[in-house]
Chain A
């Protein structure tokens, strides 16, 4: 278990989301099924830092700058 940001994870990692940026982005995440405490899988890390995560078969692409702001625990 160690703290990290979504941006610094490895492909294949399972991570628990610790906190999400406040405001509209947070509601967007919740609508997509991700809340603080959710476990997500890192599906793909693209060159340049865009991260693709999976939550219950649903793939979600997170831009690099946003991924830097999301704190996670690597399981």
Chain B
């Protein structure tokens, strides 16, 4: 170590002899900043160093060490470590610097005393001269935690200073801290253990490391290092002492904290937790159900996606390929008041006059243009299910705002500490169906987007839980796009259909998961989660999480949306879609007792859930027919994107079983309800 410092200085002044150098070096005491990662050590160093910092790579490693001169001291910064040992490069470097230090400024995060004091006690056991800097003291006050620094100082036997490095408060005491650094109090048994090693003429610091099994220090001193068992014994002893100290010096007493604690307790117990959940859900409904999925998505999908993006793209494509364009003019009540069909048998550019007429006509307010391309390739990429047109609109203008809103809400619920409590409250109910409380997360997300929820099943502990939740999602959870349509259909129908709907879907959900829980092998994982303190979420964190997850979802699911659209596009061109529609018709009219046109709705439902339900708007249905239709459509297969993502997550066999299962259950249950009601 010493020779290293000499080398560093020699770089600056090569004329000095080694003897002279040693003098220079020994004149200055070495003060080393030590602390756990992210405790703000560097801020201390920057304050002390002013402008002249010497950053160099530590010999043989890539770990850099900053040095500077401050008054009569040489200050050195070290990498953040949890303890002095040599488990990795950074620790080795920190160990060597610490062994060589004359005085140590130990920077401690006051919010994590239990974690950080372990290192402090180790430094004291090593016999180093230490002063403790309790950083983040302002944060501690904000959170109404009280730390008795005087008592802490007594227990440790060294000086303790409160600081806030960000605001540089307490930095005026830094000189005192360096000056007053001293050896702290040691446990008697550790002291005796040390004596035995120190008899062999080894310094206390090195003796401590030898006892703790540090082989390179032992080798250097030609002694045997301690065994892992001995290290564990010393570590456990130290851990217990840390806990005792923290118990004595840290107190939490606050009115504000109590209110949040009370809220936390209330949200755990079903008696009070369920009303709280109801309030949360109502707020969520207004934010996601009303604001985002109605107003915002109407604008992004309708106005921007279809009105601007698709219109211009399709209009451009129809310049070069044959197209029939049907333009409807709608009034404020969404009724068609005028309609015109433009036929461009050789593309728009071949008929400039008509193209101009089309442009003027379709640019009126309330105009909706419906393009039909005659060329199969144009159809595949730009048609109704076009890989380019539909997928882009769907992904960017419909899903993105929704997914963003859902992840934002989840991050808020998570960071406020509510979500883990909700999972705890619902744990018992979920264990009855072979899950634990954590399953609430993918299921809640499913009401936003089942595809997104399929990916989130990864947080579940075992394979059988993933299977159960994935099945529930595909069978019984209507996504927000579908919920919106169901709400419109139900709005004219009254309360009875709503109750029948909830009862039937709820029973299917419970029976399905109960059966799966019985037949699937293995055991589900139990609930074991920590409940963070209830608090107002840090917005910076929330936004970070939200954007991170949204980008992650778009990356994972985006590609599969294109694959799905391509598949349906091919079916449309080859006429497979029509054949399917015709095959389904008898089942729809005979068994479900719905009009023949409803078959189209079911086929469309395979592509996008809201397509399916929206198809039912056009048809005149009785109240009971509406009930049958929405039950069947909800139980029916997931959308094409969800299907593909499910195959990817759960494998071909399981994915296909679930998919065909939804066919059977949807028509079976829908039919039974129909036979009873109609």
Contact = CB atoms under 8 A, between A and B. Distances in A.
Q: Tell me if chain B binds chain A.
A: yes
B529 interface: yes
Given A25-B528, A44-B269, A46-B269, A61 B428 contact: no
Given A52-B268, A62-B527, A57 B252 contact: yes
| Overall SS of chain B's interface | helix
Interface stretch (B419-427, B537-545, B563-571): B419-427
Contacts of B431: 48, 63-65
Contact of B427 (A25, A32, A56, A61): A61
Interface string A16-46: 0000000001001100110000000000101
A65 B431 CA distance: 9
A58 interface: yes
A71 to B, nearest CB: 16
The size class of the interface chain A forms with chain B is 20 to 34
Interface string B289-300: 000000000000
B526 interface: yes
Interface string B514-546: 000000000000111111000000000000000
Contacts of A47: 269-270, 428
B268 A63 contact: no
B524 to A, nearest CB: 9
A28 B528 CA distance: 8
Interface string B214-249: 000000000000000000000000000001001100
A60 B252 contact: no
B527 A50 contact: yes
B334 to A, nearest CB: 49
B530 A63 contact: no
Contacts of A29: 528
A56 B268 CA distance: 19
A33 to B, nearest CB: 8
Contact of B530 (A25, A49, A50, A60): A60
A8 to B, nearest CB: 16
A46 B270 contact: yes
A68 B431 CA distance: 14
B437 interface: yes
B428 A64 contact: yes
A73 interface: no
B437 A63 contact: yes
B265 interface: yes
Most buried by A among B243, B265, B424: B424
A29 B528 CA distance: 8
A11 to B, nearest CB: 11
Given A56-B243, A56-B246, A63-B436, A46 B526 contact: no
A47 to B, nearest CB: 6
Given A44-B265, A56-B114, A66 B428 contact: no
Given A50-B424, A64-B428, A59 B528 contact: no
A63 B243 contact: no
Interface string B419-458: 0110111011101000011000000000000000000000
Contacts of A46: 268-270, 424-425, 427-428
B463 to A, nearest CB: 15
A59 B252 CA distance: 14
A25 B526 CA distance: 9
A60 B529 CA distance: 6
Contacts of A56: 114, 243, 246-247
Nearest to B417: A59
A60 B428 contact: no
Contacts of B421: 61
Interface in B234-290: 243, 246-247, 252, 264-265, 268-270
B425 A63 contact: no
A65 B526 contact: yes
A44 B528 CA distance: 15
Contact of A66 (B247, B270, B425, B526): B526
A33 B240 CA distance: 12
Nearest to A21: B526
28 contacts: A25-B528, A29-B528, A32-B530, A44-B265, A44-B268, A46-B268, A46-B428, A48-B427, A48-B428, A48-B431, A49-B428, A50-B424, A50-B427, A50-B428, A50-B437, A60-B528, A61-B420, A61-B421, A61-B423, A61-B527, A61-B528, A61-B529, A61-B530, A62-B526, A63-B431, A63-B436, A63-B527, A65-B431
Interface of B: 114, 243, 246-247, 252, 264-265, 268-270, 420-421, 423-425, 427-429, 431, 436-437, 526-531
Given A44-B269, A48-B431, 5 more contacts: A44-B265, A47-B270, A59-B531, A61-B527, A62-B527
Instruction: Kindly list the 4 A-B residue pairs having the minimum CB-CB distance in the complex, ordered from nearest.
Output: A48-B428, A63-B527, A66-B526, A63-B526
